[in-house]
Structure 1
């Protein structure tokens, strides 16, 4: 299957530059993955398409101010760091621009030396492993020096940093938000639970897999970057009980989907565990546990577009995107949502 098969034409004006005023007032495209039938609603109407006994699985990761700007000692040029994964202790995997100026054992200084990054190695794919040196508490320093890592297609400055966090974000560590969850309010989640719909929370820290484009012609040759996940016994028990009682497992976002499909057994159960996943889901994939998906509209030729095509069918998805463009839906991180049921 070719990468170009997942191309669609998107007018730049449909790329959302800011979130809607009220999270649950985003538009919602409902796609039936069996018939291809499409409906147009508001996100708050999602509750009408969820049944008692269903289980929503949400990613509770929290975005850190992962973008840092520093310089080499005695130099004025700006060097940008994007923190991707906390390997252990003060060692992080990072994206660096411009990379040619940042090689081992180079040191980069942030905030007049308040934070210093020592470059340890260059990894396959060009990321750097660095170790940070500082006095005090790392997260407090990061909050002071770092910026929210908004995607490059968002040109407007975000006035409220919490709008790039889900209302249920808890575990700090992501370089990007699990954007499907941005549409939920605490009130909507309460109404969903009052209807008898279960909620389970897992964690996947979004890293380079979100940013890396597909650069090969044949999608089977693309390699996904690893991202860290954790699934608790409590979450696994909720999901397994819902599945056993014939409820649908509906993942909120592609990150929840990838985590669930990583840990699911062949008989459609999940076990509590933590680890790293580089699962790449594209058409032809046989889903083990996920029945439905709430997601945003994704970039052309992206791994996320390939994932949703695997669940709903490529023809259904490409048709839905064509209609979404015609109906002027808002696309990408701050855009509208789709429910594949």
Structure 2
């Protein structure tokens, strides 16, 4: 299986630069994973495709303002730091630009000394481990100095940083938003609950590894970066009970899906607990627990388009993407949504 098998041509103007005013007003393509049949809707109409007894699984991670702009102590050279993964003792794994200015021992000042970082090690792919010193509460300082780490294909400044958070974001830790969840409003979630659909939550702190380009031609040689997840006891029980009673498990986003598949046994039982996952899902994967998926439209040749192809079949996905381009759907983080389901009439 080649990476180039997952290429499609996307006109630049279809990359959504700004979120819609009304989250649930984005478009929704409904794709039948068995037949490839496609229907076009508005996102809030998703409720018509959910049945009493089903379970919607959301990722309640919260994006931290992980992009910091600082100056090298001693030379005042400008340095940009992106926080990727929290380690112990105020040490973070980071992406530093320009990397050549950040040798071990380099000190970087942020907010005129409000936060000081020292490069203590260089790890895989040139990422830096930086130890931070500060007075007060790190999260509060970050909130003051940091910017939302929008993907590189979004060139517009975000007016309201909450628009890169889901309405149910709770646990700080992500370097990117679980974007399928951006379409939900509190009102829509209430309507879904009122229909008798359960809503369960898991947590997966999204790292940038999810979005890293696949640089090998043989898909199976690509290695995913690990991300931290948590599945709580009561949530695992709710999901397992749904499955037992014949309800469908509907994952909101690829991050929820990767969490569920990582924490499940081979016979489809979800285990509570926490840990790191580097699961890479591509065609040929046998799904253990997830039946259906709400997701956005993903980059060509990305691990995410491979994941959705595993669930719906590569031919169905590539045909659906071709139709989305022709129909001028909005793509990527602030774009429109797709619901991969079955029994579409």
Q: Secondary structure at the match of 2:200?
A: strand
Q: What TM-score do the two structures reach when normalised by structure 2? A: 0.98
Q: CA deviation at 1:103?
A: 1.7
Q: Are the aligned partners of 2:210 and 2:224 in contact in 1 as well (CA < 8 Å)? A: no
CA drift at 1:122: 1.0
For the aligned residues, what is the CA RMSD?
0.8
The answer to whether the aligner puts 1:3 opposite 2:3 as a matched pair is: yes
User: Which residue is 2:232 aligned to?
Assistant: 232
- Residue of structure 1 equivalent to 2:133: 133
Contact residue 71 and residue 78 of structure 2 kept, 8 A:
yes
Deviations 1:7-66 (A, max 9, x none): 000000000000111011000000000000000000001000011111010000001100
Residue 183 (structure 1) aligned with residue 183 (structure 2): yes
Question: Is 1:303 aligned with 2:303?
Answer: yes
**Paired residue for 2:43?**
43
Instruction: Kindly report which structure 2 residues correspond to 1:4-19, keeping only aligned pairs within 5 A, or say none.
Output: 4-19=4-19
Residue aligning to 1:99: 99
Offset of residue 120 of structure 1:
1.4
Matching residue of 1:114: 114
Compute the displacement of 1:165 (Å). Answer: 0.4
Structure 1 partner of 2:170: 170
Give secondary structure in 2 for the equivalent of 1:29.
strand
CA distance in 2, matches of 1:83, 1:150: 13
Partner Cα distance (1:63, 1:134) in 2 = 21
Superposition deviation, residue 88 in structure 1: 2.3
> Secondary structure of 2:132's partner?
strand
What is the CA–CA distance in structure 1 between the aligned matches of 2:212 and 2:93, rounded to whole Å?
Answer: 14
In structure 2, distance between residues paired with 1:134 and 1:57:
37
Measure the CA separation in 1 of the matches of 2:203 and 2:260.
10
Contact 2:107 2:116 (8 Å CA) reproduced: yes
The structural deviation recorded for 1:78 is 1.6
Instruction: Determine if contact 2:176/2:208 at 8 Å carries over to the other structure.
Output: no
After superposition, give the CA deviation of every residue in 1:280-302 in whole Å (9 maximum; x if it has no partner). 00001011001000000000000
Q: Which residue matches 2:312?
A: 312
**Residue segments in structure 2 that go unaligned for 5+ positions in a row:** none
Shift, 1:121, TM fit: 1.0
* Alpha-carbon offset, residue 208 of structure 1: 2.2
Distance, in Å, in 1 between the alignment partners of 2:225 and 2:263 is 17
1:96-152 CA-to-partner distances (Å, cap 9, x unmatched) read 111111121211111111111111111112211111111111011101110011111
Structure 1 unpaired stretches of 5+: none
Q: Deviations over 1:253-280 (max 9, x none)?
A: 0000111000111111111110100000
Provide the residue aligned with 1:279 in structure 2: 279
- What displacement does 1:212 show? 1.3
Structure 1 segments of 4+ aligned residues over 4 angstroms from their partners: none
Q: Which moved more, 1:98-107 or 1:40-49?
A: 98-107
Give, in angstroms, the shift of residue 232 of structure 1: 0.3
What is the alpha-carbon distance in structure 1 between the residues aligned to residue 278 and residue 108 of structure 2? 30
